[in-house]
Amino acid sequence: MFDALSERLSGVFDRMTGRGALSEKDVDAALREIRVALLEADVALPAVKDFTSRVREKAVGEDVIRAVAPGQQVIKIVHDELVRLLGGEGEPEGLDLEGEPPVAILMAGLQGSGKTTTTAKLAKRITERDKKKVLVASLDTRRPAAMEQLAQMAERAGVKSLPIVKGQTAVEIARRAMQAGRLQGYDVVLLDTAGRTSIDEEMMTEAAKIAEVARPRETILVADALTGQDAVETARRFNDRLKLTGLVLTRMDGDGRGGAALSMRWVTGLPIKFLGVSEKVDGLDAFDAKRLAGRILGRGDIVSLVEKAAQDVDHEKAERLAKKMAKGKFDLEDMRDQLKQLQKMGGVSGIMGFLPGMNKAAKAQMAAAGFDDGAIKRQEAIILSMTPTERAKPDILKASRKRRIAKGAGVEVPEVNKLLKMHRQMADMMKKVGKGKGLPGMPGGRMPPGMGGMGLDASAADLLKGKAPQGAGLPGLGGAKPPAGLPGIGGPLGPDGLPLGLPKKN
Ligand SMILES: Nc1nc2c(ncn2[C@@H]2O[C@H](COP(=O)(O)OP(=O)(O)OP(=O)(O)O)[C@@H](O)[C@H]2O)c(=O)[nH]1
Ligand SMILES: [Mg+2]
C-alpha cells in the first residue's frame, strides 16, 4: 500500500530539493503534482483540496527556517500536513477501556470487512498489553459457522469466548455476554456482529438494540482499506446512524492505493485506532499518524533535520550577539558560539547536503580546501586554548601567545593565524553591518536578525522570490561561491556566504 504514492511524491521532492531557491511558481507546480499524486492514490477530493491549500498557505507563510533549503522546508510542511490529515500527532490513541467492568466494545462493519478477525486480534492485544481479562462473543446469527469461526480464532489468540447457545438472537447473546462478563469478573467484553452487504434499516435497528443492552464504551467500525473510497463512504454512513468512536482499517498489507486510510479521518472525523496488517491474530498495528506519514514520504532524514534546525536555535544567544553586533563587536567567544551552533546542526557533513546551491563540484571544492568537521573542532580548540582576555581582545595575541595557543590546541601557528584572520574578516563585516552599510550583494541588507547559526524569521516571501538566503545563518557556509568565507579556509567572506544572520536594516 502507498507504494505508488510514495514514488510519485518522491519524484516531486527530488525535483524540489535539487535546486536552491524556490519561487512561488515552483511551489505551485509542486503542489499541482502532489495534488495529482493524492488523487491517483484515491484520496477524497475535498481532503486533497484542503491538504494542498494548507500546504500552500504554510509554504508561503512566515514560518521559514533560514538554515534549511526551501525545498526541504516544503517537504517538512507536506509531512506535517500529512500527519494532520491522518489524525494528528500525539500518542496513538488505542481503545478507551475506562469505566466499570466489564467494558463492552462493539465491532461493526460491512460483510467480510474483517470484523471477526479484528475482534480476535484486539482481544489478544488487550489481554497481553493491557493485562485485562477479556471475553469475546459472536452475535453473528446470520452466517452459519460464524460463531465457531470466532471461537476458533479466540482459542488461537489465547482468549476466552462465550459458549455458543444456538437459537438466541443477537440481542439475547449480547445480554448473556455482559452477564457472563459481570459474573465471571471479565474486564472487557468484545462483541463481534454480523456483517451485511449494505447498511440497511434492520441492521441499524439491531445495532441500536445491542448498544442499549451492552452500553459499549467503544463502537469500532472495521473497514476494508482495499475498497478505497467505498470504505470511506461506508464509514460516513455508519457514523450517521451509530455513534462510532473509532476505526480499524484492515488489509493494510494489501496493495491498495491507500486512499481510504488517507481520507478516512478527514471525511469522518473519527480516529483510526488500529491497522490490520495480516490474516494472523497478531497482525494488528496501533495506528500512528507520524509513523505512517514517514512511511509514505520516506524523507525522515529531512524532516528531522528541519525539526532539529528549528529546535537548536538559541534565541537568547542570538539576541545577545545581535546587540553586540549592532555595536560593532564580534569577539572570538562569539565566533566560538557560531562554530558550536554549526556542530549542533550535525556538523559540516550533516549540513552540506542540505544547503541550497551546494552541488557536487562545490562540495568537492570544500573538501579539497580542507573544510570539514575536523577543521571546526580544531578551530574551537584554538579558541578554547585562549584566555578570556585573549578571546575578548585578540589584538594582544603576539608570537609567544600564539605559540602557546597552538600548542594547547595541538595545531601549528599558521592555523592560529588563519583563524585570527578569519575572525578579523568576520568582525569587519559585522561592523559594516552594524553601521548599517549593509552587505554587498544582499538586497538592501534585508536580512532579519537571526543569529546563533540560523534565524527563524526569514520571510518566506524572500525564499519564494528566489532570494533564498543561501546558507545564511551558518558560519560562512553555503552560497553560490562555496568555499568563500568558510571557517577553516580563511578565504574572504563571500557575499552569499554570510557567516551569520544579519540584522535587519530599514
Ligand atoms: N490480509 C489480510 N486479511 C485480512 C485482514 N483482516 C481480515 N482478513 C481476512 O479477511 C477475510 C474476512 O475476515 P473476517 O474477519 O471473517 O471478516 P468479517 O467482517 O467478520 O466477515 P463477516 O462476518 O462474514 O461479515 C478473512 O479471510 C480474513 O483472514 C488483514 O488485515 N489483512
Ligand atoms: Mg465475521
What's the rounded Cα separation, in Å, for the pair 62 and 82? 20
Asked if residue 379 has its Cβ within 6 Å of ligand 1, the reply is no
Residue 483, in any domain of the structure: no
* CATH code where residue 365 lies: 1.10.260.30
Q: If we measure between CA atoms, which residue out of 397, 493, 502 comes closest to residue 449?
A: 502
Ligand 1 atom closest to 109 (CA): 19
Predicted model pTM: 0.62
DSSP 119: H
Ligand 1 atom closest to 278 (CA): 32
| 43 shares its domain with 125 | no
| 107 shares its domain with 203 | yes
Asked if residue 276 has its Cβ within 6 Å of ligand 1, the reply is yes
Q: Which residues constitute the domain of residue 363? A: 314-464
3-state SS track over 156-187:
HHCCEECCCCCCCCHHHHHHHHHHHHHHCCCC
| 107 shares its domain with 255 | yes
| 120 shares its domain with 268 | yes
Asked if residue 256 has its Cβ within 6 Å of ligand 1, the reply is no
Tens-digit pLDDT string for the chain (506 aa): 888 888 888 888 887 776 666 677 778 888 898 899 889 888 888 889 999 998 888 877 645 555 566 777 788 888 888 888 888 776 567 888 988 899 999 999 888 999 999 999 999 999 999 999 999 999 998 888 999 999 999 999 999 999 999 899 999 999 999 999 999 999 999 999 988 777 778 888 888 899 999 999 999 999 988 887 888 888 888 888 788 999 999 998 887 777 888 888 888 888 999 999 999 999 998 888 888 888 888 766 666 667 766 665 555 566 667 777 677 678 888 888 777 777 766 666 655 555 545 556 666 666 665 567 778 888 889 998 998 889 888 889 889 999 999 999 999 999 999 999 888 887 887 777 666 544 443 333 333 333 333 332 333 333 333 333 333 333 433 333 333 333 333 333 333 333 333 333 33
Residue 342, in any domain of the structure: yes
Cell of 56: 500552500
Query: What is the pLDDT at residue 92?
Result: 60
| 83 shares its domain with 139 | no
| 374 shares its domain with 283 | no
Asked if residue 115 has its Cβ within 6 Å of ligand 1, the reply is yes
Q: If we measure between CA atoms, which residue out of 318, 331, 329 comes closest to residue 423?
A: 331
| 172 shares its domain with 61 | no
Ligand 1 atom closest to 250 (CA): 31
| 266 shares its domain with 337 | no
Q: Report the number of distinct structural domains present in the chain.
A: 3
Tell me how crowded residue 245 is: count the other CB atoms within 10 A of its CB. Answer: 20
